[in-house]
Amino acid sequence: MKFNWRTTSVLAVSSVLLAGCAVSSLPDIKSQTPPGGVYEQNLHAGYVELAEMEAAETDWSDAETFTLRARSVLEGNNPAPEEISARNLPSNMVTTMIGARGRLTDALNAGGAAKAPEAAANAQVMFDCWMQEQEENIQPADIAACRADFELWMKTLEAALEPVVAAAPEPEPEPAPEPKALPGAMIIFFDFDSASITEAEQLTVADAVRAFRESGAKSLALTGHTDRSGSNAYNAELSKKRVDAVADALRARGIANSAIKVAASGETKPAISTDDGVKERLNRRVVISFE
């Protein structure tokens, strides 16, 4: 692990160190791999580097503190962040340091070492670094650097602990509206031997147009009929004229030609059965069906 705040040289522990000092074991501690995973490896490496840096400055007390912490990691006893009472901090920084330690311990207690092991270990190391530099209170740049690195790793750690917000379930699709029931057939009646639509029957044509637009029907099927008065051939032609007249009336009211289907049945499908040659108004008709 490399810290951003200053360049360090690897400590060469010399014979100048006292034989009983914990720092004398630092090379051996450094060479070993701690039990555990990423969290323990970063915690161990971080404390080793802090110990090396303090020893390089001949700060044997703090070098020993960090050496002992690295050793504890090797022994499987990961140390907690330094207690506030362990350092003689400036009075104006005590509250700040209490708050910082609270953030760190809350994150660790919430499983930070498992969810973001590198960030958790480095945040703890940099908190202890900040504590040590803040107690000395003689190197503002080093204090600021330790604090900045602590904040950086804490943001990463806290972000990893934020609950994952589950995506909102897709709303159930609204059921398709029930198709509207198509209107029943409408009938246009005609006078005897006529293909002209009377004024009264024009109202039925208008009703058919309105129903077609409101119902959602796609087409109108028109079938022309006659009564049985007259020859078959004449009546076939007359029924054709009647259906064409209704089709023209529908088109005049805005119905597209493509939506109109026409057929002529002559006298072959009477609504009222009669003998041949009988006049019957109910048979003289055009039936409008909605499709």
In tens, the pLDDT along 204-263 reads 999 999 999 998 899 999 999 999 999 999 999 999 999 999 999 999 999 999 999 999
Does the structure show a pLDDT above 50 at 15?
no
241 and 274 fall within a common domain: yes
- Burial, 246: exposed, middle or buried (Cβ in 10 Å; 0-12, 13-18, 19+)? buried
Question: Given this model, what pLDDT does residue 19 score?
Answer: 33
Question: What range defines the domain where residue 75 resides?
Answer: 22-161
Question: Given this model, what pLDDT does residue 172 score?
Answer: 85
- Segment (H or E) for 173: none
Q: What are phi and psi of 175, to 5 degrees?
A: -60, 145
CATH number of the CATH domain containing 271: 3.30.1330.60
151 and 198 fall within a common domain: no
110, amino acid identity: A
Asked, for residue 178, whether it belongs to a domain, the answer is no
Helix 117-136 to helix 94-109 angle (10° resolution) is 160
The span from the CA of 224 to the CA of 239, in Å, is 5
Report how far apart, in Å, the C-alpha atoms of 280 and of each of 5, 132, 199, 272, 283 are. 109, 115, 20, 8, 6
pLDDT band for 10, please (50, 70, 90 cuts).
very low
46, amino acid identity: G
Last residue of a domain, one of 106, 128, 161: 161
149 and 29 fall within a common domain: yes
99 and 207 fall within a common domain: no
Asked, for residue 92, whether it belongs to a domain, the answer is yes
152 and 195 fall within a common domain: no
Residue pLDDT, tens place only, 182-211: 889 889 999 999 999 999 899 999 999 999
How many domains are there within the chain? 2
Q: Looking up tokens 């058919």, which residue turns up?
A: 208
224 and 95 fall within a common domain: no
| C-alpha atoms less than 13 angstroms from C-alpha of 291 in its C-beta half-sphere | 12
What average pLDDT does the chain have? 89
142 and 227 fall within a common domain: no
Asked, for residue 88, whether it belongs to a domain, the answer is yes
Last residue of a domain, one of 126, 161, 196: 161
Q: What DSSP string runs through 221-255?
A: EEEE---SSS-HHHHHHHHHHHHHHHHHHHHHTT-
Asked, for residue 16, whether it belongs to a domain, the answer is no
CB 129 within 8 A of CB 53: no
- Burial, 6: exposed, middle or buried (Cβ in 10 Å; 0-12, 13-18, 19+)? exposed
The span from the CA of 100 to the CA of 44, in Å, is 21
Question: Given this model, what pLDDT does residue 215 score?
Answer: 87
The arithmetic mean of pLDDT across residues 26-52, rounded, is 94
The span from the CA of 235 to the CA of 231, in Å, is 6
193 and 138 fall within a common domain: no
- Angle made by CA atoms 225, 231, 234, in degrees to the nearest 5: 60
Answer positive or negative: Cα dihedral of 16, 20, 24, 28: positive
The span from the CA of 3 to the CA of 157, in Å, is 17
157 and 205 fall within a common domain: no
